[in-house]
Amino acid sequence: MLNFLEEWSFFGGSILLIFIGLYGVLSRKNMIKILISLGLMDTGVNLLLVALGYVEAANAPIINSVNPSNAAAFVDPIPQALVLTSIVIGTAVLALGLALVMKIYDKYSTLNISEIRGLKW
């Protein structure tokens, strides 16, 4: 039972982070809280990608010979590279969103979406 929990805790935790972030995006009216929720969703997706790319008892893909005999025992580096790229893109998107929120606050003097004129749903 404990082994099952160890194996599936990353999947469950990442899906939980995604749903907490989705709830925050859909239910909050404060733009800063919405950005924090987007960051939570981004972290959940990154954790899910890392969990999907995990291979138990595998080595780093550093090949020393021309014909490696244990090529199946290597970890696939593609999910790790995708996660690093996703972290950089997510940080840039959140920084841009924060800059837009600051400009909206300067113009409307509020961060509440319901009180801002011109934002119609």
Q: Cβ(11)–Cβ(48) under 8 Å? A: yes
Q: State mean pLDDT over 17-29.
A: 96
Instruction: Report the distance separating Cα 6 and Cα 10, nearest Å.
Output: 8
87 located within any domain:
yes
CATH number at residue 10: 1.10.287.3510
The type of residue at 97 is: G
36 located within any domain:
yes
Q: Which domain holds residue 10?
A: 2-54+76-115
Q: Cβ(10)–Cβ(51) under 8 Å? A: yes
Q: State mean pLDDT over 59-80.
A: 73
Q: How many domains does the chain have?
A: 1
23 located within any domain:
yes
Residue 71: the pLDDT is: 64
Higher-scoring residue by pLDDT: 52, 55: 52
- Reported pTM: 0.82
Close Cβ partners of 108 (under 8 Å, ≥ 6 residues apart):
115, 116, 117
Band of pLDDT at residue 61, cut at 50, 70 and 90: confident
Close Cβ partners of 48 (under 8 Å, ≥ 6 residues apart):
10, 11, 14, 15, 18
